[in-house]
Each structure stands twice: as C-alpha cells, then as structure tokens.
Amino acid sequence: MKRSTLRISLAAAAAGAMTVVLPAAPAAAINQTDCGTRTDFVKVWYNGGADTKCFANAGTVTPGLLDVERITSGNNSVHVWLGNEIRSMDKWSSIRDVENLNAPLYALRIH
C-alpha cells in the first residue's frame, strides 16, 4: 500500500514539474508540403519564379523566401507580409509581381 501511494505521489510530482517547465504554446499546424498537381495549397514561386514551395493547414510561418514572383492562395484565406506591405488574399486568388519588385516573403498566415 505504501509503495503504490509513493508511486502515485512521484507521478503527480513529475507531472506538476513538467507543467511548470514546458510553457503553453499555441499549436502551429501549418506545414510545408509537396505541391504535386494539387491547386488547393498556398503556392509560392520565388527566386524569380525558378523555385516553388507549398503550404497547408492553418497557422503562421516565416519562410523568408526571396524574389517572390507569384503567390496563389488555393482553397485558403491568407495574409502575407510581402516586401513592405501586408496583403490579404481570399480563396482562389493570386498575387503576381508584374512590376518586377523582387519582394521577399517574410511571413505567411493561413486562416
């Protein structure tokens, strides 16, 4: 009986210590994924359009991609920090660098 009480007390103390040590943080489900042939992901063309990256799921990421040529939102509502401005994108919309501004993508948030 004393042994099981001791084990329960130690387990409770360990759980309490982990609660103090590990701060609560919001879950970030956003992830980079292979683009494939899918069009429902957020897709970013960068390095002057030579390279692409796709992102899925809600959350925020700071990819730091340089010389962004185009961004498509897919089936997502998106906010992007592109160059010196933050822009909103509705589902199935696109931003294209027609003025050759070579803007970097600092942050991307999928809602």
3 domain-assigned: no
pLDDT of 22 over the 80 cut: no
* pLDDT tens track for 61-110: 999 999 999 999 999 999 999 999 999 999 999 999 877 888 999 999 99
54 domain-assigned: yes
64 domain-assigned: yes
**For the chain, how many structural domains are there in total?**
1
Q: Cα separation of 68 and 55, whole Å?
A: 15
Q: For residue 81, what are the domain limits?
A: 31-110
Q: Cα separation of 59 and 70, whole Å?
A: 20
CB 108 within 8 A of CB 42: yes
Tokens of 7: 């084990």
User: Which of 4 and 63 is assigned the larger pLDDT?
Assistant: 63
The enclosing domain of 37 has a CATH number of 2.60.20.30
26 domain-assigned: no
Residue 48 burial (CB count, 10 A)? 13
Q: Could you tell me the sign of the dihedral formed by the alpha carbons of 59, 83, 32, 76, in that order? A: positive
* Residue 55 bridge partners (DSSP): 32, 42
